Structures are given as structure tokens and as C-alpha cells.
Structure 1
């Protein structure tokens, strides 16, 4: 088996080429929109491997089909700021749904053991834990539930066609998601799963909170937008408290901007209600 392809968020193109020199057919796609794409696709029925370098929290993704790295042509010093790695859960196309559940949840537990921490988007993503977080994901469709919670097979199948979990470690952010083929959803029959690992730099994560030209000035705009987003989160949490949910006030935000942690003004009443219904 060939050695794993090595990637690291923010790695330079020179480093990317040198560390993966044994893969001679790496494809570079330079777009006029200002983004350069670095791609590799493994031959059919060949088990590719990608090694994600992240300090002491590095890991290997098996059964890789392909990946794409993205570089900003106008900000080359930022390196390849994003990698998207697509893989199967096993070498075979079909897999039992319960086996898929166990394999993916085991992988999430291993990331936590390595030191990756759960991440929730500031706006609209309430701080929930355990079964409540998974129930919220089932109900809302777009949410990153608590990765420490192992869903039952019944809960797993209620995730419709897929789900995602997001983590951070030092200056790296990682989203682990899966989707499954809608034609193979019978729990008693095998399904078809595709997993995606999206690795991005902390700066790219900060920019993702903005649109268009605002992205270039994200640091000067950060405090105001995070105050807005966090107030939306607290309002959503108070709304959920009225529905019987409890809030994980021990959740630790990552430090994305030098001014973090940023807190909104005039939310004392909301925070008092939240604290009364916090998870002990």
C-alpha cells in the first residue's frame, strides 16, 4: 500500500509538493476567480490514505476517494487554507447502517481523545449536550450535535440523509460529515455512505463569518458581528428552555480573534434565565 498523502491546514505549496513527491499525478486547477485547487483522486478500488497533520492530534483517514486543497491566489502566504477529503467508511461500497453508525461514532471519540474539542457556530447553534443535542439535530436538520453522545440506531436513521460534527484544535478547525444514498435507507438492508473531512485554518474560519469584500477586513469587523451572533444564540437558548431543554454553559469557545471571548451587551436577563437551566 502506498504511503499516506500528507496534508496540513495552511501548508505551503512547496511543502505540499515535497512531502507528497511520491504522488506524481497531483492535479492543479488554477481558476480565474482567484482560487487555486490542488486535487488528487485515487484509482477505483484502490484504498487511499490521507494523514492529517495537527501537532499531537494528527490522524489518518482510510478509504479515501479524493481530496481538494484550496489556495487563495491573492493571499499566497496563507498557504493551502482548506482541504476537503472524501472517503468511504470501509473499502466496500455497501455497509450495514449499524456498522456505519459504530465506525463513525468511534472515529469521533478518537478525535476527542486526541485533543480535538467540539465547536458550535455562534449564531443559531445553542449549547446542548447528549441526547438533547441529537434530538435537536434530528428536528432541525442542520446542527452539530454533541460528539460524546452515541445515538441509537433508531436515532441514527432519523438524521435523514446525513449529519456533521465540528471540532477545533489549536489553530485548526475540522468538520466531519457524512451523507448516505437516499435509495438505500431501509435499516434492514445495507446503505451507501460518503464521509467528508473538511480541514481549515483559523483565519479561514474567521473569514467564513463574512461575505464578499468584508472577508478581507474580518478582524476589524469581528467584535460587532460576534456580539450580534451570540445574542441570537442566547435568545435561541431561552426559547429552547421554554421547551424543556437544558443549556451547557460549560462549553468553551475557541479563541479565533485576539479580542475573544467577545460578549454582547444588554443580555443579563437572558443569561440569568440560561444559568437557571444550565446542566449541572
Structure 2
């Protein structure tokens, strides 16, 4: 098997080319909109490997089908700020749903062991743990559940067509998600799974909260944005407390902006209720 393709969030193009010089068929797609895409696709039945470098938290993704790195020509100092990697859970197309559940959750938990920490988006993403987090993911349809919790097969299948988990480590953010083919959803028969890893720099993560020209101004806008989003989070948590949920107040926010952690004003009453129903 060929050596793994090496990627790192924010790596320069020169570094990318040098570390992967043995892959001579790398493709560069330069778009007039100002984005350059660095791509590689493995031949059918020759799934590759990609190594994500992140200090002491690096890891290898097996069974890779393809990946794309994105560079902004108006922000070259940011390097290749985003990598999207698509892979299978195994080298075979079909896999038993229960095996997929075990393999995928084991991968998430291995990231935790390496030092990656769970990340919850600020707005409307309450701080939940364990079985409650998975119940909320099933109910809401869009949520990042607790990666330390391994769902039952029944819970796993209730995630409709897929699920998504987000982590952070130092200056990197990583989203790991899966999709499954809607035609192969019978639990007693094999399914088809596609796994995606999206690696971002912290700066790119901050920019992702904004659109168009506001992306370049994200640092000056960040404080007010976070205050608004966290207020919504606390309101959602109080709403869920009334439904019997408990809140993980020990959750640690990543430092995206130099001023983090930022807290909103006038939420003392909400925080008092949340504290009374925090997970011990």
C-alpha cells in the first residue's frame, strides 16, 4: 500500500506539495471565484490513506476514496484552510449496521483519547451528555451528540440517514460525519456508509459563522455574535430542563477569538435555573 497522503489544517501549498511529492497525479482546480482546490481521488478498489497531522493528536484515516483541500487566493496567508476527506468504514461497500455503529463510535472515542475535545455550536446547541444527548439528536434531527456515549443499535438506526460530531484540538477543528444509503436501511441487512472528515483552521471556523464580506470582519463581530448565540443556548437549555433534561455545565468552550470566553449580559436568571439542573 502506498504511504498515506499527509494533510494539516493551514499548511502551505509548498508544504503540501513537498510532503506528498510521491503522489504525482494530484489535481489543482483553480476557480475564477478565487478558490483553489487541491484534489486527489484514488482508483476504484484502491482506497488510500490520509494522515491528519495535529501535533500529538494526529491520526490516519483508512479506506479513503477522495479528498479536497481549499485555498483562498485573497487570503493566501491562511494556507489550505480546509480539507474534506471522504472514506468508507471498511474496504467493502456493504457493512452490517451494527458493525458500522461499533467502528464509527470507536473512531470517535479514539479521537478523544488522542486529545480532541467535543465542540458544540453556540446557537441552539444545548450542553447535553450521554443518552440524553442522543435522544435530543434523534428528536431535533440536527445536533452533535456526546461522542463518549455509544448508542444502542436501535438508537443508531433512528439517526435517520446520518449523524455529525465536531471536535477541536489546539488551532484545529474537525467534523466527522456519516451518511448511509436510504435504500439499505433494514437493520437485518447490510448497509452502505460514507464517512466524511472536514478539517478546518480556527480562523476558518470563526469565518464560517458569517457570510460574504462579513467573513473578513469576523473578529470585530465575534463578541456580539457569541453573546446572541449563547443567550439562545441558555434559553434552549431552560426549555429542555422543563422536559426533564440535565445540563453539562462542565463543557469547556474552545478559544476561537482572543476575547473568549465571552458571556452574554442579563442571563443570570437563566444560568441560576441551569445550575440547579446541572449534571453532578
Q: TM-score, normalised by structure 1?
A: 1.00
Task: Report the counterpart of residue 108 of structure 1 in structure 2.
Answer: 108
DSSP 3-state at the match of 1:192: strand
Task: Report the counterpart of residue 274 of structure 1 in structure 2.
Answer: 274
Deviation, structure 1 residue 196: 0.2
Task: Report the counterpart of residue 41 of structure 2 in structure 1.
Answer: 41
Alignment of 1:3-42 (within 5 A): 3-42=3-42
Task: Report the counterpart of residue 89 of structure 2 in structure 1.
Answer: 89
DSSP 3-state at the match of 2:67: strand
CA distance in 2: counterparts of 1:109 and 1:127, whole angstroms: 18
CA distance in 1: counterparts of 2:216 and 2:75, whole angstroms: 10
Q: CA RMSD in A?
A: 0.4
CA distance in 1: counterparts of 2:109 and 2:180, whole angstroms: 21
5+ residue gaps, structure 1: none
Superimposed CA distance per residue, residues 5-62 of structure 1 (whole angstroms, 9 cap, x where no aligned partner)? 0000000000000000000000000111111100000000002000000000000000
Task: Report the counterpart of residue 246 of structure 1 in structure 2.
Answer: 246
Q: TM-score, normalised by structure 2?
A: 1.00
Task: Report the counterpart of residue 53 of structure 1 in structure 2.
Answer: 53
CA distance in 2: counterparts of 1:211 and 1:232, whole angstroms: 20
Alignment of 1:163-174 (within 5 A): 163-174=163-174
CA distance in 2: counterparts of 1:204 and 1:47, whole angstroms: 29
Deviation, structure 1 residue 209: 1.0
CA distance in 2: counterparts of 1:182 and 1:172, whole angstroms: 32
Deviation, structure 1 residue 112: 0.3
* 1:76 has 2:76 as partner: yes
Superimposed CA distance per residue, residues 173-201 of structure 1 (whole angstroms, 9 cap, x where no aligned partner)? 00000000000000000000000000000
Task: Report the counterpart of residue 144 of structure 2 in structure 1.
Answer: 144
DSSP 3-state at the match of 2:107: helix
DSSP 3-state at the match of 1:222: helix
DSSP 3-state at the match of 1:71: strand
CA distance in 2: counterparts of 1:167 and 1:238, whole angstroms: 25
